[in-house]
Structure 1
Amino acid sequence: MNYMPQSSKAQNTAELPYYAQDVDFDDLAKRNPDWAAVCETARKSKWIDFQDPKVVLQLTNSLLKCDFSIAALDLPDDRLCPPVPVRWNYVRWIQELLDTTSDSYSDRYDPERQAIGLDVGVGASAIYPLLAASTRPEWRIAGTDIDQHSLDYARRNVDNNGLSKRVKLALTTSDAPIIPLQALGVEELDFVMTNPPFYTSEADMQASYGSKQLPPSAICTGSDNEMICSGGDVGFVLRILEQSLQLREKVQWYTAMLGKLSSLQQIVAKLKEHDITNFAVACLQAGHKTKRWAVGWSFQDFRPRVDVARHGDLVHAVLPYPTAQTIAVPLMSTEWAGKKVDAAMKELDVRWQWRASSAVGVVEARENVWSRAARRKKRFGGNDSTMKEVKMGDAGEESSEEEEHVALAVKISVSNEKVDVRWLRGTDHVLFESFCGMLKRSLTARD
Structure 2
Amino acid sequence: MNTHHRSDKSRGTPVRKGLHPKNLHNQGYDFPALVKSHPALAPYVKPNAYGDLTIDFSDPLAVKTLNAELLKRYYNIVDWDIPEGALCPPIPGRADYIHCMADLVGLGHEQRSIKLLDIGTGANGIYPLLACQIYGWQCVGSDINAQSLENVATIITNNPTLKDRFTLRRQHDKNHIFEGIIQPGEFFDVSVCNPPFHASLDEALKGNQRKLNNLARNRGEQKAQTQSPTLNFGGLGAELWCKGGEQLFLKKLIRESQVYSTQCRWFSSLVSKADNVKPAKKLIRKLGAVEIREIEMKQGNKVTRVLAWTFM
Q: Secondary structure at the match of 1:169?
A: strand
Q: Is the 8 A contact 2:199 2:243 kept in 1?
A: yes
Residues 303-346 of structure 1: per-residue CA shift (max 9 Å, x gap) = xxxxxxxxxxxxxxxxxxxxxxxxxxxxxxxxxxxxxxxxxxxx
Listed as ranges, the matches of 1:175-254 within 5 Å are 175=174, 177-180=176-179, 184=183, 186-209=185-208, 214-216=213-215, 219-254=232-267
Identify which of 75, 80, 88 aligns with 1:73.
80
Q: Is the 8 A contact 1:64 1:72 kept in 2?
A: no
| Structure 1 residue 174, shift from structure 2 partner | 3.7
1:29 match: 32
Identify which of 145, 158, 162 aligns with 2:143.
145
1:281 match: 294
| Structure 1 residue 16, shift from structure 2 partner | 7.3
Q: Secondary structure at the match of 1:285?
A: strand
1:293 match: 305
The structure-2 alpha-carbon separation of the partners of 1:89 and 1:196, relative to structure 1 and needing over 3 Å to count, comes to same
- Alignment partners' CA distance in 2, 1:42 and 1:33: 12
1:64 match: 71
The structure-2 alpha-carbon separation of the partners of 1:62 and 1:52, relative to structure 1 and needing over 3 Å to count, comes to same
Query: Structure 2 counterpart of 1:151, which letter?
Result: L
Query: Structure 2 counterpart of 1:141, which letter?
Result: C
Identify which of 88, 92, 98 aligns with 2:95.
88
Query: Structure 2 counterpart of 1:200, which letter?
Result: A
Listed as ranges, the matches of 1:21-420 within 5 Å are 21=26, 23-24=28-29, 27-31=30-34, 33-34=36-37, 38-39=41-42, 42-43=45-46, 48-100=55-107, 106=108, 110-111=110-111, 113-137=112-136, 139-162=137-160, 163-175=162-174, 177-180=176-179, 184=183, 186-209=185-208, 214-216=213-215, 219-286=232-299, 288-300=300-312
- Alignment partners' CA distance in 1, 2:181 and 2:241: 28
Q: Is the 8 A contact 1:209 1:215 kept in 2?
A: no
> TM-score scaled by structure 2?
0.77
Residues 8-59 of structure 1: per-residue CA shift (max 9 Å, x gap) = xxxxxxx9713675733xx243255255664576448987333433321121
- Alignment partners' CA distance in 2, 1:120 and 1:198: 14
Q: Is the 8 A contact 2:59 2:233 kept in 1?
A: no
Q: Is the 8 A contact 1:32 1:66 kept in 2?
A: no
| Structure 1 residue 291, shift from structure 2 partner | 2.1
| Structure 1 residue 164, shift from structure 2 partner | 1.7
- Alignment partners' CA distance in 2, 1:234 and 1:254: 16
Query: Structure 2 counterpart of 1:30, which letter?
Result: A
Q: Secondary structure at the match of 1:175?
A: coil
Query: Structure 1 counterpart of 2:296, which letter?
Result: C
The structure-2 alpha-carbon separation of the partners of 1:209 and 1:61, relative to structure 1 and needing over 3 Å to count, comes to closer
Residues 123-153 of structure 1: per-residue CA shift (max 9 Å, x gap) = 111111110111222x211111111111110
RMSD value over aligned CA atoms?
2.9
Residues 211-248 of structure 1: per-residue CA shift (max 9 Å, x gap) = 56924568332121111112222211211211222222
Query: Structure 2 counterpart of 1:110, which letter?
Result: E
Q: Is the 8 A contact 1:39 1:48 kept in 2?
A: no
The structure-2 alpha-carbon separation of the partners of 1:229 and 1:66, relative to structure 1 and needing over 3 Å to count, comes to same
**Matched length:** 274
| Structure 1 residue 260, shift from structure 2 partner | 1.7
The structure-2 alpha-carbon separation of the partners of 1:182 and 1:233, relative to structure 1 and needing over 3 Å to count, comes to closer
- Alignment partners' CA distance in 2, 1:183 and 1:298: 16
Residues 370-407 of structure 1: per-residue CA shift (max 9 Å, x gap) = xxxxxxxxxxxxxxxxxxxxxxxxxxxxxxxxxxxxxx
Quick check: which has more Rg, 1 or 2? 1
Residues 346-365 of structure 1: per-residue CA shift (max 9 Å, x gap) = xxxxxxxxxxxxxxxxxxxx
Q: Is the 8 A contact 1:19 1:86 kept in 2?
A: no
The structure-2 alpha-carbon separation of the partners of 1:210 and 1:269, relative to structure 1 and needing over 3 Å to count, comes to farther
| Structure 1 residue 273, shift from structure 2 partner | 3.3
Structure 2 unaligned spans of 5+: 1-19, 217-230
| Structure 1 residue 197, shift from structure 2 partner | 0.6
Query: Structure 2 counterpart of 1:133, which letter?
Result: C
Structure 1 unaligned spans of 5+: 1-14, 101-105, 301-447
| Structure 1 residue 159, shift from structure 2 partner | 1.8
The structure-2 alpha-carbon separation of the partners of 1:219 and 1:283, relative to structure 1 and needing over 3 Å to count, comes to same
- Alignment partners' CA distance in 1, 2:298 and 2:122: 22
Residues 159-185 of structure 1: per-residue CA shift (max 9 Å, x gap) = 212212111112212435422477646
Q: Is the 8 A contact 1:42 1:48 kept in 2?
A: yes
Q: Secondary structure at the match of 2:306?
A: strand
Query: Structure 2 counterpart of 1:255, which letter?
Result: S
Q: Is the 8 A contact 1:253 1:297 kept in 2?
A: yes
Q: Secondary structure at the match of 1:128?
A: helix
